Amino acid sequence: MFENFTLERIDTGDVTLRVRHGGSGPPVVLVHGHPRTHTTWYAVAPALAAAGFTVVCPDLRGYGQSDKPASDDDHAPYSKRAMAADLVGLMDALGHDKFAVAGHDRGSQVAYRTALDHPDRVSQLVVMDGVPMVEALERADAKFAAMWWHWWFFGQTAKPAERVICADPETWYNAWTSNSPDVLGPENHADFLAAIRNPATVHGMVEDYRAGLTVDRRIDEQDRAAGRQIQCPMLMLWSTKDDMEEIYGDPLEVWRPWCPQVTGHGIDSTHHIAENAPAELVQSLLEFL
């Protein structure tokens, strides 16, 4: 897995991230979602490197084997603003001034926040299976709540979700059914399994959602009120066998107020697109990048 890539821990200034990187050429950061680690890109990253890109795959703070800082009442240490700053610090450490960033699921939130907060650093943006947090929450009707109920379960703190998840994490995360070694690939599955078995990682992942419902929404609202938009070219991709179209209709319409020049399309895949349809994803990324 990740042949000819380097695996190391890199100090980003605030936290230390576990990172795998390789290749040469224009740099692109691949940002995983929940409940994955950077190894979700095992079939995508080498293909991009072979096509002439430097590919950087971190574990987000709170996830995998990256640092898990203490949180606070506002959950700001797990905000997408903090995670975006981690990516900039990481690319500084690796010597890259400008870079493309592509994020999936929760990683898509980090990716677009990086483009908004650091427009001078991001050359291109790819968002997969995600919309701005404030746009998602403003559309949170009964259908949304029924389909994405885990957002509210993770978000509340009176009866922490971690206690339920950690009682049987392998069943909670379908580690031997829809997230089995056959589906994820054996090495990726082993990394996923180690992550979900770690209570500190489960806490970090849940804090990500708590930040989404609070500080991340407020930051989006501030950007929208100020008229800030994504300045770089943007590609939106979504899994057609997931629920993006059912909830949002045309996801591009949700993104146009944030990036008028956004382009994109669906890919015939279930939610974890990097594992379920890597060849199609790589082709879409190469055409855009």
Q: Report pLDDT for 42.
A: 98
Report DSSP letters for 144-208, one per residue: HHHHSTHHHHHH-TTTTHHHHHHHSHHHHTTTTTTT-HHHH-HHHHHHHHHHHT-HHHHHHHHHH
Q: Quick one: residue 230, left, alpha or beta (phi over 0 = left, psi -120 to 50 = alpha)?
A: beta
Residue 193 domain flag: no
Considering just the CA atoms, what is the radius of gyration of the chain in Å? 17
Q: Report pLDDT for 14.
A: 95
**Catalytic residue among 104, 203, 271, 272, which?**
271
**Catalytic residue among 105, 117, 191, 216, which?**
105
CATH code of 268's domain:
3.40.50.1820
Residue 147 domain flag: no
Full residue range of the structural domain in which residue 116 is found? 6-139+212-288
Q: Report pLDDT for 95.
A: 98
Q: Quick one: residue 249, left, alpha or beta (phi over 0 = left, psi -120 to 50 = alpha)?
A: left
Residue 204 domain flag: no
Q: Report pLDDT for 265.
A: 98
217-231 tens-digit pLDDT: 999 999 999 999 999
3 state SS of 70: coil
Tallying the residues shown for the chain, one arrives at: 289
Q: Report pLDDT for 256.
A: 98
Rounded to whole angstroms, how far apart are CA atoms 159 and 177?
27
Q: Report pLDDT for 50.
A: 98
**271 classed as catalytic:** yes
Closest CA to 81 of 51, 117, 106, 33: 117
| Number of domains composing the chain | 1
CB 78 within 8 A of CB 204: yes
Residue 59 domain flag: yes
DSSP 282: H
Residue 34 domain flag: yes
Residue 203 domain flag: no
Residue 229 domain flag: yes
78-131 tens-digit pLDDT: 999 999 999 999 999 999 999 999 999 999 999 999 999 999 999 999 999 999
Residue 146 domain flag: no
**21 classed as catalytic:** no
CB 111 within 8 A of CB 103: yes
Residues of the chain scoring pLDDT < 70: none
